[in-house]
Amino acid sequence: MSKLTKNYGSIKTAAEIISLSFASDPLIRWLSRDRSGPGWETLTPTLQQWQEARLREYAVRGIAMEAVTMDDTHRSVGSCFLFPPRPVYRWLNPLWWPSYLRVLWDEWWVQPTEPFCLEKRIGIMMESHNDFEERIKKKYPPNSLYYLEIAAVRPDTQGMGVGKTIMQWVVQKIGDYPCYIECTDRNNVAFYVKYGFEVVEEKKLVDEEDAMPPTTLFYMIRDKLALKK
């Protein structure tokens, strides 16, 4: 595991991995305005532009990590976004100013958007996320809670232990600090349980105007100190 670099090749590859690994995810499909049509698996230029902008920001903020092979190719096979309890103020270092300017350029001028999801459903998802985040932060001391937003594995490397490597790094990084995740696929809940996370809340996302069934978010917490009590 290593920090995602500002190198365009690394950013591009990480963006592709995230899109491909979540293309069939229940939440992403629920968010889609056309579930029978194409989605993240297409890696369309508009989607790639949006993902790359997000990766650039997270790389600059020190949030994005990548899993690379140990052979001579150093091929990127996975990625994760781990938000620390306290933000990393890299903008105080002049060496990072050019990178921050590119992030601001994306945010204020380019303004890339995700091309497949329905804005209304994104709002429903974010309302649930913000509500849980606000409540869970009140249960812990300030600046003590990690947030694992994404753990993504390149689809053609499934079963090779990439996910295990990512989660072992996460567990080592957070130590005794609590950490929460939003698991978007019921089939993945057991995987996170193996690393000390437990489901504390389930939330159904419902679009009243949508004929399709709702999707469920599984809010999970890893609280090592609570388990010791």
Range of the domain at 78: 2-228
H or E stretch including 37?
none
Q: What is the value of pTM for the model shown?
A: 0.86
pLDDT of residue 229: 47
| C-alpha to C-alpha distance for 29 and 9, rounded to whole angstroms | 28
pLDDT of residue 228: 46
pLDDT per residue as tens, the chain (229 positions): 788 877 788 889 999 999 999 999 999 999 998 877 788 999 999 999 999 998 888 888 888 889 888 777 778 889 999 999 876 655 555 555 566 666 666 677 767 888 888 899 999 999 999 999 999 999 998 889 999 999 999 998 888 889 999 999 999 999 999 999 999 999 999 999 999 999 999 999 999 887 778 999 999 999 976 644 4
| C-alpha to C-alpha distance for 193 and 179, rounded to whole angstroms | 13
Domain count, the chain: 1
pLDDT of residue 171: 95
Residue 144's alpha-carbon distances to 52, 112, 175, 178, in angstroms, are 29, 32, 11, 7
Which CATH number goes with the domain that contains 69? 3.40.630.30
Q: Residue 183 has what DSSP assignment? A: E
pLDDT of residue 61: 81
